[in-house]
Structure 1
Amino acid sequence: MLYRVEGIVIRSMDYGEGNKIITVCTKTHGKVGVLVRGAKKVKSRHAAMTQLFTYGEFMYFKSGQGLGTLNQGEILESHHVLREQLHLTAYASYAAELLDRGLEEGEVGGYLFEQLHACLQALEQGKDPQITIHLYEMKILQSAGYSPELLTCVSCGRDDAPMLFSSRLGGTLCIHCQNRDPAALAISEGTLKLLRLFDRMDMRRLGNIDVKPATKVQMKQCMRSFLDVHLGLNLKSQNFLDQMDKYNI
C-alpha cells in the first residue's frame, strides 16, 4: 500500500552499502520506519530527506508489518540550523531521542507530532533551549501517562503549605508529609509556579520566558529525577547535554 504522510525525521541510520533507514514521527500514522535506498550516494535525490530534524512529506510503499520503502519526498522545513550549531544539535537530538525511546508507536499521534515540531521551531527561533526542553519533557511525560501532581500534596491533599517535589511519589509533597520521602527536593515558589505553568501549557504557546538561573537549576533537578524514576531511560543525547553543561559549551 502507498502512503503519503507529513513527518519529522527523529532517527537516521546507515543500512548496507548505500542505504539508510529513517524513523519518522508522522502527523497521522505515529512512528514509522522507512528504508531509503541509495541515500548515501553522492547524487542521491533522497539524501536530504534522511537528515535528522527534517520536516517533510514522505511517500512510501509498505506491505505488511515491515519497513516502508521511500518512493519520493518533499522537504517542508529542513531545520538545517539545528544541525549546524552544536548546542542546538544537542537539544534537538535529545528531543528526538526522548520521543523515540520514551513512547511506543501507538502512543505517538498528531498531538506529539505538533509538540515536537513546535519544540524544534522554538530552538531554531532562539528561545531559551533549557526552558524549551523542560516544557517538551512535560509533554512527553503527560503523553506517557506520568503527569506529575502539582496542585496538592500527593500524600495528604493539602494545598496551603510549602511544597517539596517528590519524583518517587509522583509530584508535590507538603512539608508536613516530608517524612514520606526524605529525598524530596526543596523547591522555590517560582519553580513550583513554572512547573504548574508547564503542566497546562502547549508547546505551541511558548513565548520568551525569562527564568532565574537558580530556578533553572531546580527545574532541571525536578524534570531529570522525574524522568529517571518514571521512564528510566539512558539517552546518549542526555549524556552529551550533561557534558555540555559541565564544560559550559
Structure 2
Amino acid sequence: MLYRMEGIVIRGTDYGEGNKIITILTPSHGKQGIVVRGARKLKSRYSSLAQPFTHGDFSFFKSGQLGTLSSGEIIEPYRELREGIETAAYASYAAELCDRGIGEEDAGGYLFHQLKACFAALAEGKDPQIVIRAFEMKIAGSAGYAPLLDECASCGRTGVPFRFSPAAGGALCGNCRHKDPSAMELSDATWKLLRLFAALDLRRLGQISVKDTYKLQLRAAMRKWMDHHLGLKLKSQHFLDQWERLADRPVPEQQPPRSPEAAEGTD
C-alpha cells in the first residue's frame, strides 16, 4: 500500500550496500521505518532526504514492518543543526529522546510539532540549554511522567516552599520532606522556569535569558527526573553531558603582557 506523509528523520541506520533505514516521526502515523535505497551513494537523489533532522514529505510502499521510499521532497533540511558540534549534540539528543523515550501510542501530532519547534529554535540560535530543558519537559509529559509542580505530590499543599523530588512525583512540601531526604532545593526562579516549561508550547518559545546558576539547577533537576522515570542510556546524552560540563568550566583569566621594563627588572 502506498502512503504519503510528512515526517522528521529521528534515526538512520546503514542497511545493506548503500542503503539506509530511517525512522521518521509523523504527525498522523506515529513513528515509521522506511528503507531508502541507495541513500549512501554519492549520486542518490534521496540521500539528502535521509539526513538526520530533515523535515520532509515522504511517499513509501509498505506491506510489513518497514516501508520502502518511492519518492519525497525536503520541506526543511535543518542543515544548520548538522554543521555545528553544539547544535548537532542538542538536536541528536532531542531526536533520540523521541526515538527511544516515546512509545508508538504516544508519538502523535503534538510531539511532532514540539520536535519541529525544538529544531527550529536550535537552528535560529536560541539558547540550546533552555530549548532542550523545555523539550525534555515535553517528552516527560508525552510519556505520562509530567511532574507535579504547583502542589505537594504527597499531601496536596499549595502556596508553600517546595523541594523537587523525582521519586515523590515533583514538588514536596516541608511537612513531607522526610519522604525523600534527597529532594532538591531549587531557587524560586528555577521553579518558575519549570512551571513555564510544563505549560509552554515550544512553538511560542521566545528568547529567554537565564543565569548560569539557574541553568545548572534546571539541568540537574531535569536529568534526575528523566533518569528516574525514563531510565534511558542514550549515546547522545553521554556526549551532551560532556559538552555541557566543558561549557561550564570558567575561562582562565588572561594575565596582561609584561612590559619590557618589568621583564628587565626581574634579572
Settle same-fold status: TM greater than 0.5. yes
How far off is 1:24 after superposition?
Answer: 0.3
Match of 1:201 in 2: 200
Match of 1:232 in 2: 231
Match of 1:128 in 2: 127
Question: Identity rate of aligned residues, in percent?
Answer: 57
How far off is 1:248 after superposition?
Answer: 2.4
How far off is 1:247 after superposition?
Answer: 2.3
Q: Deviations over 1:178-221 (max 9, x none)?
A: 11100000001111111111111111111001111111111111
Does residue 1:171 correspond to 2:170, yes or no? yes
Counterpart CA distance in 1 for 2:182 and 2:33 is 41
How far off is 1:157 after superposition?
Answer: 1.4
Residues 148-187 of structure 1: pairs in structure 2 closer than 5 A:
148-187=147-186
Please state whether the residue corresponding to 1:209 is helix, strand or coil: coil
Match of 1:6 in 2: 6
How far off is 1:237 after superposition?
Answer: 0.4
Counterpart CA distance in 2 for 1:247 and 1:164 is 28
Paired residue type of 1:46:
Y
How far off is 1:246 after superposition?
Answer: 2.5
How far off is 1:48 after superposition?
Answer: 0.5
Match of 2:255 in 1: none
Please state whether the residue corresponding to 1:169 is helix, strand or coil: coil
Counterpart CA distance in 2 for 1:134 and 1:52 is 21
- RMSD between aligned residues: 1.0
Match of 1:48 in 2: 48
Q: Deviations over 1:42-78 (max 9, x none)?
A: 1110101110000000000001x32000001100100
How far off is 1:101 after superposition?
Answer: 0.3
Counterpart CA distance in 2 for 1:118 and 1:248 is 24
Structure 1 ranges of 4+ moved more than 2 A = 246-249
Q: Deviations over 1:29-50 (max 9, x none)?
A: 1100000111111111010111
How far off is 1:106 after superposition?
Answer: 2.2
Match of 2:138 in 1: 139
Match of 1:217 in 2: 216
Counterpart CA distance in 1 for 2:189 and 2:55 is 35
Does residue 1:30 correspond to 2:30, yes or no? yes
Please state whether the residue corresponding to 1:157 is helix, strand or coil: coil
How far off is 1:245 after superposition?
Answer: 1.8
Counterpart CA distance in 2 for 1:118 and 1:112 is 10
Number of residue pairs the alignment of both structures matches: 248
Residues 77-156 of structure 1: pairs in structure 2 closer than 5 A:
77-156=76-155
Note the residue ranges of structure 1 that are not aligned, 5 or more in a row.
none
Q: Deviations over 1:132-181 (max 9, x none)?
A: 00111111111111110000111221113211000111100112211110
Counterpart CA distance in 1 for 2:231 and 2:184 is 19
Match of 1:68 in 2: 67
Does residue 1:18 correspond to 2:18, yes or no? yes
Paired residue type of 1:235:
L
Counterpart CA distance in 2 for 1:89 and 1:42 is 22
Please state whether the residue corresponding to 2:247 is helix, strand or coil: coil
Paired residue type of 1:6:
E
Larger radius of gyration: 2
Please state whether the residue corresponding to 1:185 is helix, strand or coil: coil
Paired residue type of 2:79:
H
Counterpart CA distance in 2 for 1:177 and 1:66 is 48
Counterpart CA distance in 1 for 2:245 and 2:193 is 24
Counterpart CA distance in 2 for 1:141 and 1:103 is 9
